[in-house]
Structure 1
Amino acid sequence: MSSLAWTASFPFFLYGYDVAIQDSTFSLRHDIHMSGSELAVYLTCTGRVGYAVGAVAAGVAANYFGRRYVLAAGGVLYTAGTLVVTFTSGYVESTVGRALSCFGVGMGLLVGPIFIAETAPSTTRGYHGTFPQVLMVVGTITVHVLELAFLRVPRHLAWRLMLGVSA
């Protein structure tokens, strides 16, 4: 059961990673030629709207298709969106990729804890229910470790590597 709970909690790792990586991606403003307001929209609004819409969509989809399929679909959307952001150089394409990846994470943020609660035995439900919070912290720490690892990498390449690693 533990491996299943860790897997269902993985969107929380991605959420922690995404929140922490926002501080590391300010050089992307120059590479993608964003204004200050475009960067603010890119980092804050796009992500928050993606999470919210993904969570709402996941609630409906999970009842219709099942929790596992929605978790898998969220993972696919996250990976696709992250790859778009990593390999594009335009503001619109990057914003669409970010919205797509945040939509996928939002799906997992809603469905993951429900899936854990429904599949964990009653004797270990509390233990398994802590996995999302643990992975959120691990995601945040991972970003800071990668920042240290990429200190000597040119800035225009470092943010792409950090986004690409998460895919």
Structure 2
Amino acid sequence: MDNEDGKTLQDLEQADKYVAFPGGIPKKWLNPAFYSFVIVFIGYASWVISGEIREGRKTGTPVLETAESITTHLSAFTVLLTILTIVFCKGLERIMYYLDAKRIAEQERQRAERAEQLLEQERQRAEQERQRAEQERQRAERAEQLLEQAKKNNS
């Protein structure tokens, strides 16, 4: 079914599973990705800020230029870290899909094997029933023959 935007329900459900953009970071990984992003950013920012301040003091660079250098470093790093986070999450998502597909395929294979075993058991039961029916038929024929012989002997 299409909504007013022309998107199907499946498209909307698919888009609802992701953050930032359709096909972006899966919602279930948003918190771990965010915390990892913040931890890495804080570590890198601390390293850059302390390094730039030390370097600026040694060389006598004005504070404004040092601040500009820090801002440039952190901006570039933020963009790079954002891209790497999305790529990592997408890669992890693909791996998870592969592992889920592999697990589902294994479960289906096991179900098929169980179904084959049950089918074989049913075939064996049917064969046993056929053999029992054949034995009963032979007993009935034997009983008829004995009955006929007994009638002939009594006559």
| TM-score (normalised: structure 1) | 0.29
Looking at CA atoms only, which structure, 1 or 2, has the larger radius of gyration?
2
Q: Compare relative contact order (CA 8 Å, sep 6+) and give the higher one, 1 or 2.
A: 1
